[in-house]
């Protein structure tokens, strides 16, 4: 039952991503997590973008870009344009890029408070 529900959620997630673009660039079978500091949260269509400053092994900082669902979709599922603020220390779970470049598709974000915001599978707030 849980497996079936999970399958439906993933199928639906793939369907929604197809709303604007396909998943050819993403390694959809893979999930990774990365910790960093929010540089900017773009609350824009057709996708939100989390720009995350992540320390690299050269003593500097790289800015990673993570694409998320649109503000239209997320705004009805518990997110807002102030969900992530510059300076927030967060952990992002994401689908990595196939080519290994510094970015991916956000699946969930763990906030400094420990609260987790999910990209797909969250029910609309008016139904909770």
Partner 1 sequence: MNAFLHRAILVCYAVTAFAFTANAQTPFKRPPPTPADWAALAKLPDLTGVWEIPMGGPGGGFFPPGRPSLTPEYAAKAQALAAHAGEDTSSANCVPPGMPMIMGEPYPMEFLLTPGQVTIVIEAFSMVRHIYTDGRPMPSDPDPTYFGTSIGHWDGDTLVVESVGFSSHTELAMRVPHSDKMRILEKFRLTDPDTMSIETTVIDPEALTAPYISTRTLKRHRSWTIAEYVCEDNNRNFVDQNGKAGINLTPPGTKTGKP
> Which positions lie near partner 1, rule CB under 8 A?
5, 8-9, 11-12, 15-16, 18-22, 24-25, 39-40, 42, 44-47, 49, 51, 63, 65, 67, 70-73, 75-76, 97, 101-103, 120-121, 124, 126
Question: What is the closest distance, in whole angstroms, from the C-beta atom of residue 36 to partner 1 in the complex?
Answer: 12
Cβ distance to partner 1 smaller for residue 86 or 112:
86
39 and 54 Cβ atoms separated by less than 8 Å:
no
Q: What CA–CA distance (Å, rounded) separates 77 from 123? A: 6
Question: What is the closest distance, in whole angstroms, from the C-beta atom of residue 113 to partner 1 in the complex?
Answer: 25
Question: What is the closest distance, in whole angstroms, from the C-beta atom of residue 59 to partner 1 in the complex?
Answer: 19
Find tokens 């807002």 and name the residue.
Answer: 80
């Amino acid at each position: 039952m849980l497996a079936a529900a999970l399958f439906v959620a993933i199928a639906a997630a793939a369907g929604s991503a197809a709303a604007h673009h396909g998943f050819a660039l993403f390694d959809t079978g893979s999930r990774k997590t990365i910790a960093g500091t929010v540089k900017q949260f773009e609350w824009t269509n057709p996708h939100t973008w989390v720009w995350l400053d992540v320390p690299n092994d050269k003593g500097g900082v790289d800015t990673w870009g993570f694409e998320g669902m649109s503000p239209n979709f997320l705004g009805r599922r518990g997110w807002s344009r102030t969900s992530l603020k510059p300076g927030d220390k967060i952990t992002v779970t994401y689908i990595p890029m196939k080519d290994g470049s510094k970015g991916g598709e956000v699946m969930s974000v763990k906030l400094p408070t420990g609260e987790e915001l999910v990209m797909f599978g969250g029910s609309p707030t008016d139904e909770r």
